[in-house]
Amino acid sequence: MKVKFNRAALSETLALVTTVVPARTTKPILQGLKIEAQKDKVLISATDFETGITCLVAQVQVEEGGEAVIPAERFTAIIRESVDEVLELQSVEGTCHVRGADSHFTIYSHQPDQYPAVPGFDGEPQIKINLAKLQEAVEHCLFATAKENTRYALSGILWEAIGKKLTLVGTDGRRLAKYKLTLNAEADKKLESEKIIVPAKALSLLGRISAGEKDEAGVRFVDNKMVLICGSVVISSILVEGNFPKYEDIVPTDYKNKLQLNTAATLSAVKRAALLTNEDSKGVKLALSKKSLVFTSRAPEMGDAEIAMEVDYKGEAMEIGFNPQFLVDVLKIIREDSFELHLGQSDRPGLIKSGANYLYIVMPVSLS
């Protein structure tokens, strides 16, 4: 194999692909990148057995086709530190040579036939969707997924596709985010009865892909795997097994206490109130009355905080406590200038709505 790369284009591709390379593994070959040079294109792949990615590299000149598996960390460091506009990569009998105008690096590589297969995108998409809209929906749900391995069924985002509607749901058991969006075409009817859970790691890659206004993503679900294609990038992942909670049962529908709040002002108030919380007092109290919403916190041996906001509220006076980080997380990703806050009793979840397509449920905390 012998290929000449535009260094900047190669560096951009490596920044995306290397996010899949595992930091620790019992199989050293997984810490390599598979580079495949064909007649007029070069593909770079990475996998950790569960998540895979393949990218087409822009601005290449293939002088000789072939394959190589090169250590990701060393190769990326060489490309990052190089100053040449064009770099040449040559693979000969288990050794890779990277050459610039004044440099020559020799790196020992792995056997390409020992590298695990990374799925490509074969067949017609079962889901067609605007990439930017999918990225926005994922961003609004991803932070609410479970991080603990003990909640494996909650470590991904639920996909429900019916007709031209796709609903994404993420939860960690203490909060839940739901986003509904419109597809570019009707989804495959085979998906209507499916409860598909896509791992958070695979979906986090979406945010790293540059998305134009009209860029489309295609998705297929085959043999317990998701395969997604957008332009020059293919992402694949094994789906999460397990039963996702019946989220419809916990969405409040009977709340009478509602108010409209400015997103930026509320985020600032929560952040400031959270400054005087600690491990023993993680909650921020919201005290709601006719014309004001007061955020308060208190930490033993530290002090207390009080931040007041003027509001237009017609319901009953009430108090409720929340983990401030759970409020900060959602307020940081809401793109509208204002949102709706719906409240029931102090022991029932709070409900945040942003626009017609997004809702967020957060469990209260006891401040007694």
Q: What are the backbone dihedrals phi and psi of residue 259, each rounded to the nearest 5 degrees, phi first?
A: -155, 155
Question: In this structure, is residue 367 part of a structural domain?
Answer: no
State residue 149's pLDDT score: 62
Pull the structure tokens for residue 353. 């709505």
Q: Within this chain, do residues 296 and 233 fall inside the same structural domain, yes or no?
A: no
pLDDT one-digit tens code per residue, 241-293: 988 989 998 899 999 899 999 999 999 999 999 999 877 767 999 999 989 99
- What SS3 state is found at 199? strand
Pairwise CA distance, residues 257 & 129, whole Å:
36
pLDDT band for position 89 (50/70/90)? Answer: very high
Q: What is the pLDDT of residue 44?
A: 98
Mean pLDDT of all residues in 226-234: 95
User: Residues 137, 241: one domain?
Assistant: yes
In a domain, 122, yes or no: no
pLDDT in tens, 7-20: 999 999 999 999 99
Q: Residues 28, 51: one domain?
A: yes
Give the residue from 247, 275, 290 where a domain finishes.
247
Together in a domain, 242 and 131? yes
For residues 313-333, average pLDDT: 95
* Residue 255 belongs to some domain of the structure: yes
**For residues 308-321, average pLDDT:** 93
Query: Could you tell me the residue range of the domain that residue 208 belongs to?
Result: 127-247
In DSSP notation, 261-272 reads: EEHHHHHHHHHH
Confidence of residue 336 (pLDDT cuts 50, 70, 90): very high
Q: Which residues pair with 95 in a beta bridge?
A: 92, 108
Over the Cα atoms of the chain, what is R_g?
A: 25
> How long a stretch of residues is the chain?
368
Pair 312, 202 in one domain:
no
Residue 368 counted as domain residue: no
Residue 152 lies in a domain: yes
Q: Is 120 a member of any domain? A: no
pTM of the predicted model as reported, rounded to 2 decimal places: 0.92
State which of 247, 269, 285 marks the end of a domain.
247
* Number of domains present in the structure of the chain: 3
* Same domain membership, residue 96 and residue 35: yes
Q: What is the maximal distance between C-alpha atoms in the chain? A: 77
Alpha-carbon gap, residue 146 to 125, rounded angstroms: 28
Provide the CATH number for the domain around residue 326: 3.10.150.10
| 207 and 264 assigned to the same domain | no
In a domain, 238, yes or no: yes
Claim to verify: residue 236 and residue 286 sit in the same structural domain? no
Q: What percent of the chain has pLDDT over 90?
A: 85
| One domain, residues 136 and 243 | yes
Per-residue DSSP letter, 57:
P
Residues 64 and 32 in one domain: yes
| Of 135, 137, 154, the residue nearest 199 (C-alpha) | 154
- Answer yes or no: is 121 within a domain: no
Give the N- to C-terminal CA distance of the chain in Å, as an integer.
68
What was the pLDDT predicted at 13? 96
353 φ/ψ angles, rounded to the nearest 5 degrees? -120, 135
Same domain for 238 and 275, yes or no, is no
Whether residue 236 is found in the same domain as residue 323: no
Q: Which of 225, 247, 269 is the last residue of a domain?
A: 247
Question: 3-state DSSP call for residue 272?
Answer: helix
